[in-house]
Amino acid sequence: MLSVAHPGLITEAVPIRTEGDRLADASLADIGGKGVFVRALQAAVLEGRADVAVHSAKDLPSVTPAGLCIAAVPARGEVRDALVGGRLADLPAGAVVATGSARRRVQLAERRPDLRFADLRGNIDTRLAKAADFDAVVMALVALERLGRRPAVLQALGVDVMVPQVGQGALAVECRATDAGLRRLLAGIEDPAARRCVDAERAFLAALGGDCTIPAGAHAHLAGGAVHVRGVLAPAEGEPLRHAEVSDGSAVQAGLRLAELLAGATASESEDAPTVECDGDA
């Protein structure tokens, strides 16, 4: 990305194996949530072993560690989830759907209470290989597209059917907050629209005080200069899902208002309460 935005710039990849990679068979809830995929990368940047960390934005905890900032959010990819191996309406009664996501399970169960669920972890190729063991598996559509994988049976689920994970389809580029020169370089790959949407979604998650183990999702898009955010939350086991939508000119306030509607969250009126950016409101 940087080399395209700044021709002649030389970059070097720093291989890092994360805790999430090492514990691929354990559930995210058991090993510490989404942070297991990013802590090792963030430590490498803070310690000077790397200058930049590129994350899937949906893997980032809602609060950025001290000393780091999200310096750029490039143009966003596909945000939808997808069923692989079967279509929702065609799945037989009692079908087994594999996914490690509580958010995905509760939304599918709302539409198909008869479905049963199995856990699923691993990289994309591992999940595709396991798809034959179930009636269907759920994946992020963007991951399939970026890797050029085209399953024979695939159904993209609209955001009105399955509200995505916060930050799904987007990349988040972190660097040291004090590295002004690098932050200027990274500004060349920033997409302002994607940044506003991701900031709104991350503010929502921060107000809930959680990460991807919470059965909640949010999807933002721009409409007439405002940020419109759709959200879903399962407040407690056995309770019906809560759905809400809000629009606001401020990305952060849109996310906070959505959290208040869905969970009665006590969100700060200050727009810099959630750590979601480097400089001011987006």
Residue 189 has phi, psi (to 5 degrees) of -110, 5
Count of CB atoms situated within 10 Å of the CB of 21? 13
**For residues 5 and 19, what is the distance between their CA atoms, to the nearest angstrom?**
32
Q: Calculate the alpha carbon distances from 16 to 3, 37, 53, 72, 169 in Å.
A: 21, 10, 10, 21, 22
Q: Are strands 116-118 and 96-98 parallel, antiparallel or unpaired?
A: parallel
Q: At what angle do helices 192-208 and 251-263 cross, to 10 degrees?
A: 30
Out of 59, 135, 199, 211, pick the active-site residue. 59
Q: Is 59 a catalytic residue?
A: yes
Cβ–Cβ under 8 Å, residues 1 and 75: no
Angle at 170 between CA 217 and CA 203, to 5 degrees: 45
Cα 167 to the chain's mean position, in Å?
3
> Which are the catalytic amino acids?
59
